[in-house]
Amino acid sequence: MSPIKECILNKKTKTKPMWLMRQAGRYLPEFREIRKVNPNFINLCLNENLSTEITLQPIERFQFDAAIIFSDILMLPYGLGQKVEFKKNIGPILSNFNLKDLLKTQENDFNKKLLPIYNAIKKVSKSQIINGKDVIGFVGAPWTLLVYMLNKESPKKNFNNDYLKDDYLINELLKLIDKFLKIHIKNQVDNGATIIQIFDSWAGLVDKNSLSKYIYTPTISLVNFTKSLGVPVICFPRNIDDYKEYVKIVKPDVINIDYITDPKKIINEIDIPIQGGMDPTILLSDKENIKKEALLYLNIFKDHPYIFNLGHGVLPKTEPSNVEFLTKLVKDFS
């Protein structure tokens, strides 16, 4: 059994399994080489040979316990026919859409558009380099996708939540997103994904009274669906106030915590396997500091099923040698 699966089944593992969010990406020179000659990010995600190669790059370099498929949560709106572009130094920009057109999306057309992603998952899972390790498929959570689709850019700087007053629009979109996320999850599992992670990067924008409508109910639907396929599901609701309540209501197999969450507090509140937590900016500092922070997490979670990861993605300015150092430290800790 893979180290991550053992951990999820609550077994005591000798060492903590490890992978990193955004482990394939701009901090790796071998990724930047490919990216330089592939300026269109969506096309790169849809190039099954290159996305396979990129997915495997960090596994070859660091021998992580899982590969996460090189794709993006915004491939879902792309599959529904909304235009998605990634602008340098700005991030994703989405086009306006006509709800009626989106609602006409046929499953066949969606599958055809995203086929290269599924082919890449198949290639990755059959690769020698994987050799029994986990292949993580992923989706954006319905709320985070709704935010990008309606806001049409990251809500970091500007978030227009007037749309949320349009009940018809919101309900139709949530139904559509739920339907196609399930198709997207099933396609990933059918092609070799052994774990699904649900990213709810903007969960922190939802006020307490709306958690049920935007976060809990839509996520439970996906968690139950993924479990019904026999595949474990990791949830990452970033910046939420109450991880304990989230876990109690949504019941994922693993909860990924962000870096503002106090690991000492969480260990007393949550009894399911935990993933992540360390601030990715720590990897921009020196080895002494990396060691201190990593040991903090490793010691706190020593007797708890814990998958080592960060509290958000690896930052582009990270030195690969620091990731190497961290990997060795985690592997040697027992």
Given the rule CB under 6 A, which residues bind ligand CP3? 21-26, 35, 41, 68, 70-74, 86, 91-92, 138, 154, 199, 201, 313
CB of 78 to ligand CP3, least distance (A): 11
Q: Residue 97 or 333: which CB sits closer to ligand CP3?
A: 97
For helices 217-228 and 243-250, give the axis angle rounded to 10 degrees.
50
Q: Which C-beta is closer to ligand CP3: that of 267 or that of 315?
A: 315
- The H or E element spanning position 181 is helix 167-190
Residue with tokens 């609550």: 10
**Which of 282/304 has CB closer to ligand CP3?**
282
Residue type, 90: I
For the four alpha carbons of 164, 166, 167 and 169, in that order, the dihedral sign comes to negative
For tokens 């893979």, the residue is: 2
- In terms of CB distance, is 89 or 106 closer to ligand CP3? 89
Q: How far apart are CA 130 and CA 161, in angstroms?
A: 43
Q: How far is the CB of 25 from ligand CP3 (least distance, A)?
A: 4
Q: CB 10 → ligand CP3: shortest distance, Å?
A: 25
Please state the closest distance from residue 211 (CB atom) to ligand CP3, in A: 19
Nearer to ligand CP3, 39 or 171 (CB): 39
* CB-nearer residue toward ligand CP3: 246 or 304: 246
What phi and psi values does residue 24 have, to the nearest 5 degrees?
Answer: -100, 120
Rounded CA separation 274/270 (Å):
8
User: Which residue sits closest to ligand CP3, CB atoms considered?
Assistant: 201
DSSP string for 15-28: S--B--TT-SSTTS
**Least Å distance between CB 157 and ligand CP3?**
12
Output the smallest distance, CB 116 to ligand CP3, in A: 15
For residue 288, the minimal CB distance to ligand CP3 (Å) is: 27
Q: How far is CA 290 from the centre of its chain?
A: 23
C-alpha 292/C-alpha 184 separation (Å) is 40
| Closest to 281 measured CA to CA, from 256, 316, 257, 307 | 316
Residue 68 vs 323, nearer CB to ligand CP3: 68
